[in-house]
Amino acid sequence: MENVKVFSIIIAVFSALSVESVGLKDLKTCNFGAVYNFGDSNSDTGGGSAAFWPAGKPCGETFFGRPVGRGCDGRLIIDFIAEHLGLPHLSPYLDSIGTSFRYGANFAIGGSTIRPQNESMSLNGVSPFSLDIQIVQFDQFKDRTGHFYNRSYPRHRRNLPRPEDFSKALYIFDIGQNDIAAGLRKKNDSAFHASVPDIVDQLAKAVQNLNEHGARTFWVHNTGPIGCLPVSLHYHDIKPEELDEQGCLKAQNAYSMEFNRQLKARVIKLREELPHAALTYVDIYAAKYELIGNAKKQGFVEAANICCGFHEDEIQVYCGHKQNINGTEIYAGSCENPSDFISWDGVHYTEAANRWVAHRIINGSFSDPPLPIKHACHKP
């Protein structure tokens, strides 16, 4: 408990310094009436479960007490962002049951990429809901909800977004990891590097499209260190020279860093192209890498350890699955204390790790410009 109090003080100090460092100490807090998110499984709050098959137990056990469509034991970074802004957790756009879109919607789907891939969900887990499709869904969502809102009785409007909130909403992008994974699968460095400008341009086109329809505040996450994911470390015959000082695969992280370098440059260019918009580039890579490098100091076990799943003696059973091994059925359940782990299932982070990262980015200390998320509508 004492560590939580100390950490809260640190966050408050960083937040104050971030605002003061860019001369915005007296800025008013942004009034984000809604949040719209576009992404992959790192921010999917149930879209994938609605579109394909539901995330089963033990996902959701820590916070929700049941599976709720998240590839995690509890909340994701996007959930902590919504809570910080005083908003409910985002409803998935594709979820038709018990859904409210009054305060935004989540278009993220697990397995999604920025650039459409000539692959499939059944083949290798790639979603057909690439970013361009998510933007089309948003455009339709905005048009249709506006139509019904203006023609409904007040009591029927309570689950619909207010039309005036679209221009005051926060638009979040958390996507790109699966584009990098696709590049790694093809094992062609030159082809991947040649594709990166087009990948970041397609994300830029998504921002431009939203801006043309009135969006003004954008919060863009770069991608995390894919070479640090335990799934990468458990499924490869790795030589010591392939690892960096944190035990991560250098070659895979190089893909992430190149994508992030070009993404940041494109975001900076977008600021010139969209003079009325406020764009924040968020260094998720740096925040996650810092957590991985200081896992034990922050109260976690080794970063490469996986909470949910069975990974022993070259036997790999994914989280929540069963498999018959030599006549014995193995159930890949969760660990006793998920909050001790960074990795939930080898790919996704636990709620505890998501909370740690979320608290590091919402104060602006990993952002360009270094503004807390509640001030992201302002241009320094």
Question: Tens of pLDDT along 268-323?
Answer: 999 999 999 999 999 999 999 999 999 999 999 999 999 999 887 778 899 999 99
Encode pLDDT of 183-217 as tens digits: 999 888 999 999 999 999 999 999 999 999 999 99
Catalytic choice (89, 221, 348, 375): 348
Q: Is residue 179 part of a domain?
A: yes
Q: Which of 345, 365, 375, 378 is catalytic?
A: 345
What predicted TM-score, i.e. pTM, was given to this entire model? 0.92
Is-catalytic flag, 132? Answer: no
Q: What is the pLDDT of residue 121?
A: 81
Q: 236 an active-site residue?
A: no
- Selected catalytic residue, list 15, 18, 41, 43: 41
Residue 4 lies in a domain: no
Residue 273 lies inside a defined structural domain of this protein = yes
| Residue 91 appears among annotated catalytic residues | no
The pLDDT confidence band at residue 23, using thresholds 50, 70 and 90, is: low
The tens digit of pLDDT for each residue in 215-236 reads 999 999 999 999 999 998 887 7
Say what percent of the chain tops pLDDT 90: 81
Domain for residue 3, yes or no? no
Domain count, the chain: 1
In a domain, 123, yes or no: yes
What is the pLDDT confidence band of residue 13, given thresholds at 50, 70 and 90?
very low
Residue 140, in any domain of the structure: yes
Average pLDDT over residues 28-54: 96
In-domain check, residue 245: yes
By percentage, how much of the chain surpasses pLDDT 70? 93
Amino acid 7: pLDDT: 41
Residue 364, domain CATH: 3.40.50.1110
The 3-state secondary structure of the chain reads CHHHHHHHHHHHHHHHHHHHHCCCCCCCCCCCCCEEEEECCCCCCCHHHHHCCCCCCCCCCCCCCCCCCCCCCCCCHHHHHHHHCCCCCCCECCCCCCCCCCCEEECCCCCCCCCCCCCCHHHHCCCCCCHHHHHHHHHHHHHHHHHHHHCCCHHHCCCCCCHHHCCCCEEEEECCHHHHHHHHHHCCHHHHHHHHHHHHHHHHHHHHHHHHCCCCEEEEECCCCHHHCHHHHHCCCCCHHHECCCCCEHHHHHHHHHHHHHHHHHHHHHHHHCCCCEEEEECHHHHHHHHHHCCCCCCCCCCCCECCEEEECCEEEECCCEEEECCEEEECCCCCCHHHCCECCCCCECHHHHHHHHHHHCCCCCEECCCCHHHCCCCC
Domain extent at residue 219 = 31-300+349-375
Domain-embedded: residue 335: no
What's the chain's average pLDDT?
92
